[in-house]
Structure 1
Amino acid sequence: MENTTDILHQIFWLLVLPLPVACIAWTVTHEEVFREPREYCVSQSKSSRRLLRRKFFYLFTCEYCFSHYVTLGAIILTRFHLLLPDWRGYIISGFATVWMANVYMSVFALIRQDIKKEKTEIALIEKKVEEISEAPASKS
């Protein structure tokens, strides 16, 4: 019974911990609030002459790459381990957390894309309705 409780506890953490990881990684790599630093990082990742510098700045432009570092911080803060109680459990939990965070970010991206598509379709319909309603008035 105790082992089952421990596994359920670990699964709970595996589903919850990637949420803030995904939120932080997405916000830094996509949202407007970090646009200027991100644009600087993009330019440095493309134009720097040193390989190490290009790779360092690239980390802040890719949500997948950045999620590894956010996960590392989250694992250190929470001491979350998965399946094994030693260092191997931390490695397993790290990769599992990164994977789950990226699943969450992919779902979020699809939802945002769908919302944007719907808004565009609504705007087009409203424009057509406006054109139709103005057309008879201009003929009179």
Structure 2
Amino acid sequence: MSITLQLLWLFILAIPVACVAWTVTHEEVFREPREYCIKRSHKGRSIMERKFFYLFTCEYCFSHYVTIFFILFTDFHLLLDDWRGYIIAGFALVWVANTYMSLMAYLRQGIKKEKTEIELMAEKKDKIVKQ
């Protein structure tokens, strides 16, 4: 596979990795299991138990495991055709996926800020209208 095609695969394959990792660690649909994992990561008896449950609450940590799944699922490797290509692909996918998640967090923060500003302006308008 050409380097151009491998890079295309890298940037496209990072999208579902980021999507799965973000959804599990941030979105409302997984809130209850995530809260359970947070509790267990704080109150677990052993360090292994605490670390195991922590990985479901951290998008960076969880993205490593999601990446391993997608590499196995797609047989994606980068630059080299042997086991080293899988390792390179794994770290590259994690890096790109986490860059995507950082952009997502930044965009969501901006959207939340705009919504808050709009709500404050609406409240001010309502106060002025009532006076």
* Bigger CA radius of gyration: 1
Aligned position for 2:25: 29
> What percent identity do the matched residue pairs reach?
64
The two structures have a TM-score, normalised by structure 1, of: 0.92
Q: In structure 1, what is the Cα distance between the partners aligned to 2:13 and 2:52?
A: 25
The two structures have a TM-score, normalised by structure 2, of: 0.98
Deviation at 1:95, TM superposition (A): 0.1
Aligned position for 1:70: 66
Which residue of 100, 105, 130 corresponds with 1:109? 105
Aligned position for 2:90: 94
Q: Which runs of 5+ in 2 are unaligned?
A: none
RMSD over aligned Cα, in angstroms? 0.7
Aligned length: 131
Q: What secondary structure sits across from 1:17 in the alignment?
A: helix
Deviation at 1:46, TM superposition (A): 0.4
Q: In structure 2, what is the Cα distance between the partners aligned to 1:114 and 1:21?
A: 23
Q: Which 4+ runs in 1 deviate beyond 4 A?
A: none
